[in-house]
Structure 1
């Protein structure tokens, strides 16, 4: 009997870990304010420089929401939007958006080959590591490590963020600092090729 109880407790604990700390249904109720910029369900932003929020990883999404709320990541369009949300509200939002399906776009075929080479193999000459090492070969990210899924994200948003990392406009967390180091080694042409490749990756 003790083994049965222990097994049930362990199973419930592992299930909770697998599904994260957020409640997607509760998150959906708080997501209405986000739809005006990110679209219904977070997958169709009104401008390509706004991110798709779908399927990025619950841990990553939660950390970004915390950083935005605390002012560690400054996004003018989001000023004040999260002020009245609790920590659990942020987890719930992250869980909701993580459960939504990412709609993958069409990459520019002229840039795919160079972008793929960088994403999968990096650039040994300039010390750029392969993006696939942290974000996975098919772009689904690494949820336990908090590395976001990239596949299907808009090219414009990826390009904007890589340049923000490179220019020191986005930093602070340990993951962000890794990206700062990577982005400072990328040229504008490499950033454009990578961003394009990622937008069609699935």
Structure 2
């Protein structure tokens, strides 16, 4: 093997090693870092307050994206932005791995409204998963509090929360649709 071939091989391995993440997400480290999150999002990511979303079983990709959006200011929230501003990429990955590994709970939804929401839910399931369990960059809707889901749909409709596809979908829904869909997803 000549020196050019050796140099190319060495360059390949150096480049490949630089492309690898420095450390994989650590669920145990995420558990230790999650203490600050528990006051709003509950132990193990299961909130006891309808104001705050459940994080348990949420897609890790979605959680990473949202924490980075809070940190950069692309997603506006007066509580989450300061919390996320101090997180390193490693912290974000560890927290996301921890919360995504937790067992979810059902928030529950009013049965009559949930039945009405079930008939409207098909438009949501293509992105959010067949059982609204989340799908990579799309969040888990199953088990979220109805009030939280209604607020998010309203935020998309008014444009205070940005996401082109969700803004377009929410623009075509009524308040009654918000309530029905939220009750259905909360019941899953």
Q: TM-score, normalised by structure 2?
A: 0.84
1:33 match = 36
The structure with more helix, counted as a fraction of residues? 2
- The structural deviation recorded for 1:134 is 1.0
Tell me which of 167, 170, 176 is aligned to 2:158: 167
Asked whether the equivalents of residues 43 and 102 of structure 1 are also in contact (C-alpha less than 8 Å), the reply is yes
Question: Where in structure 1 are there 5+ consecutive unaligned residues?
Answer: 1-15, 121-129
2:140 aligned with 1:149, yes or no? yes
Asked whether the equivalents of residues 49 and 160 of structure 1 are also in contact (C-alpha less than 8 Å), the reply is no
Asked whether the equivalents of residues 38 and 44 of structure 1 are also in contact (C-alpha less than 8 Å), the reply is yes
2:38 aligned with 1:44, yes or no? no
1:22-171 to structure 2, matched below 5 A, reads 22-45=25-48, 47-120=49-122, 130-143=123-136, 146-171=137-162
Q: Provide the C-alpha distance between the structure 2 equivalents of 1:61 and 1:150, rounded to a whole number of angstroms.
A: 13
What's the secondary structure of 1:81's corresponding residue? helix
Q: TM-score, normalised by structure 1?
A: 0.78
Q: Provide the C-alpha distance between the structure 2 equivalents of 1:64 and 1:165, rounded to a whole number of angstroms.
A: 15
Alignment length (residue pairs): 166
Question: Where in structure 2 are there 5+ consecutive unaligned residues?
Answer: 1-19
What's the secondary structure of 2:83's corresponding residue? coil
Runs of 4+ in 1 over 2 A off after TM superposition: none
Q: Provide the C-alpha distance between the structure 1 equivalents of 2:40 and 2:109, rounded to a whole number of angstroms.
A: 23
What's the secondary structure of 2:105's corresponding residue? coil
Q: Highest Rg: 1 or 2?
A: 2
